Structure 1
Amino acid sequence: MLMLGSASLFALMAVCIRLASAQLHPFQITFFRSGFGALFALPLLHGHGWQLLRTPRLGFYIVRCVLGMGGMLAGFWAIVNLPLAEAVALSYSSPLFVTIGAVLFLGEVVRMRRWSAVVAGFIGVLVIVRPGSDAFTGGSLVALLAAALTGAVTISIKSLTGSEPADRIVLLTTLLWIPLSLPAALSVWQWPHAGTWPWLVLSGALGTGGHFCWTRALRLADASLLAPFSYLQLLIVALLAWWIFGEPLDRHTAAGAAIIIAASLYIAWREHRLAHERRQQVAPATSVEPTIWAGRRDQ
């Protein structure tokens, strides 16, 4: 239920961003989404106090937030300038970039089956963007840049969750996004009209709510189990884009999205299988040779 809630909230946030873009540049929308998102995240201080913001890894948070801000700026630009369903479908290529980044930066070993899934996923991307055709635009590349930066953020979150509580990650991230998004917003600044403010407030509330549900869901179940529910976002966005903006779901987008989702689900399933195999290997060793295995693990 939490993952379904997260997917629904992020889908509605995308619609609010598109509605706010009738007056404002995506860079300004990013700033207001960050500001209102931080405001709605402040209740996380309840029960923790201001010590929730104290962390020995502030530098790492800043790097993570710079990457996240780049992804948000590119992603919001894509939502405004591409058909909504296409922008969201391309965002689902993020797990493909995570796999590549895990090899380059985390030293993970990825074997043939997962590499095959990555290749299949990028074939799905090509089906959507159709390079060389009249349908191909630079906006598709911006959407892919957003997906790549989101993949980098995912890798950084994997590192943070090992030592940092989920509430700190959500709150500190949203607070750091405010100053990081301000320079880009000032470059295109204009005051929002009265009719634009509700969409800006909603984008912050929905974004923080979606992030909150997502982090809680990941504490209760494996990512491989939750991944299929996250793809509900594409269905909701496609229906709302058709209903509100009159955007039909392009058959190339639908076909490419199906390939990307299938490849991403296979990668998630393989991650689950490998993690299960590692746990099975650790359990017997810890019960028979606890001292020896502890030494190996430390190495």
Structure 2
Amino acid sequence: MRTRPTLNWTPAEDLPPGTTDAGPVAEMLGAGGVLVLSGAGLSTESGIPDYRGEGGSLSRHTPMTYQDFTASEQARRRYWARSHLGLRTFGRARPNAGHRAVAAFERRGLLAGVITQNVDGLHRAAGSEGAVELHGSLGRVVCLSCGARSSRGELARRLEEANPGFAPVAAALNPDGDADLTDEQVEGFRVLPCTLCDGILKPDVVFFGETVPPERVERCRALVRDAASLLVLGSSLTVMSGLRFVRQAAEAGKPVLIVNRDATRGDRHAVTRVALPLGPTLTAVAARLGVSVDVR
């Protein structure tokens, strides 16, 4: 289960500090067979905030839970109004140098796969078409009654037509794609049902309090089993949905390397943590390995 995020976790004092030497990253990638596990920190350079970093959204925002969404029509109105507005900005985000570097490593044959905890679709947009989206994608919508999946773009078009003139000013954008709005700002927003069965529509993402589909978890576990090593990019590993793969790799004796500016819950399982910004670091590593990165 993807648990509600918390700010109460603090790193153990006996863990070593992160290094600023990117050499271990280059060595790991140069050896090949690397499985990448990415988190929200990889997308911050694309303008998408993270949850727990400096200025992270959890200091002011509690993400919607599955239980709240399914239990309350008002909660769904609040979610869809905020998400619909947030999509106008979220949907304009483009892959950054970090995403493009990961795609370049994949093209060179250095990766065993990519697992992302992000729901922004930026790995796929950068060219990592086989990336496993652990928590789903905001680019799709699913009906909770009939299970039909459809394009988020199509729903956005329908919501625009149903809510003409809806353009409140948001206080901030959050990593899950919604915007901070007051109850007064979302009042009267019209939520639309499934076009096939009139069921409740939900973004095709794993909400906090919801379980990641077992077949998706097993697919990720298989990637860990087949990989030579695990490279974590921009994740605090606070929630178990990602941490379990770090533990699996470490228990199998496979080296784990983390690139994250702040300490993570997985540091004790890692060979080292590289405390450097992701985009410049991965671009520099690519140059060192002679890997060409798309500079779009």
* TM-score between both structures, scaled by the size of structure 2: 0.27
Comparing both structures, which one devotes a greater share of its residues to strand?
2
* TM-score between both structures, scaled by the size of structure 1: 0.26
Higher relative contact order (CA 8 A, sep 6+): 1
